């Protein structure tokens, strides 16, 4: 199993590439992502979080897992809500982020079949969070500049201690 990449790993800032081949390699990436996400008890994971810069996200849990290849958000509700979000790529950081409460998304499944889904609540938030990842946007980017600087200083201090 591949380790989940931690900030400030540069791969987290790379804009992911579209998937064109729905082959065995893709299925292996999805399997690795699923194992990592469930092991870390996350509800979402983007491929670049395991070092693969492809447009793949997983949302859900063991009972209900959505595999979204090349996801495109086609609608975001005007009804928004602020909530604290954590991220598997960040240690000890939660950020209060304003996001749409519901959305529609078009994507392909692992076999290349076109799908469309409407999501609300936690899954809508998770999809927005993971699509941010695919575009190189991280939760730290939602912080005020001073808070961002403080977090980065804390990371540097921890590295120096090791």
Strands (E), the chain: 44-46, 56-60, 65-76, 80-85, 95-100, 102-108, 114-120
For residue 107, say if its preceding peptide bond is cis, omega within 30 degrees of 0: no
Longest pairwise C-alpha distance within the chain: 49
Whether 19 has a binding-site annotation, put simply, is no
Whether 150 has a binding-site annotation, put simply, is no
Q: Which one from 18, 92, 120, 130 is the annotated catalytic residue?
A: 130
How many angstroms separate the CA atoms of 108 and 4, rounded?
24
Whether 79 has a binding-site annotation, put simply, is no
Assess whether 130 carries a catalytic annotation: yes
Count of CA atoms in the C-beta half-sphere (13 A) of 25:
6
Strands (E), 7-158: 44-46, 56-60, 65-76, 80-85, 95-100, 102-108, 114-120
Closest by CA to 132, choosing from 123, 141, 122, is 141
In the annotated binding site, the residues are 87, 129, 133
In the annotated binding site for Fe cation, the residues are 87, 129, 133
**Catalytic site residues?**
130
């Amino acid at each position: 199993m591949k380790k989940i990449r931690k900030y400030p790993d540069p791969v987290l800032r790379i804009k992911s590439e579209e998937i064109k081949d729905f082959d065995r390699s893709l299925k292996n990436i999805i399997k690795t992502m699923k194992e990592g996400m469930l092991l870390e008890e996350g509800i979402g994971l983007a491929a670049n979080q395991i070092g693969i810069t492809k447009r793949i996200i997983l949302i859900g849990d063991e009972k209900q897992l959505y595999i979204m290849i090349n996801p495109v958000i086609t609608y975001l509700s005007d009804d928004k809500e602020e909530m604290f979000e954590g991220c598997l790529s960040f240690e000890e950081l939660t950020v209060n982020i304003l996001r749409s409460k519901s959305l529609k998304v078009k994507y392909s499944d692992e076999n290349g079949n076109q799908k469309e889904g409407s999501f609300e609540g936690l899954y809508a938030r998770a999809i927005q969070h993971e699509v941010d990842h695919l575009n190189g946007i991280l939760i730290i980017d939602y912080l005020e500049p001073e808070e961002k600087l403080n977090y980065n200083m804390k990371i540097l201090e921890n590295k120096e201690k090791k």
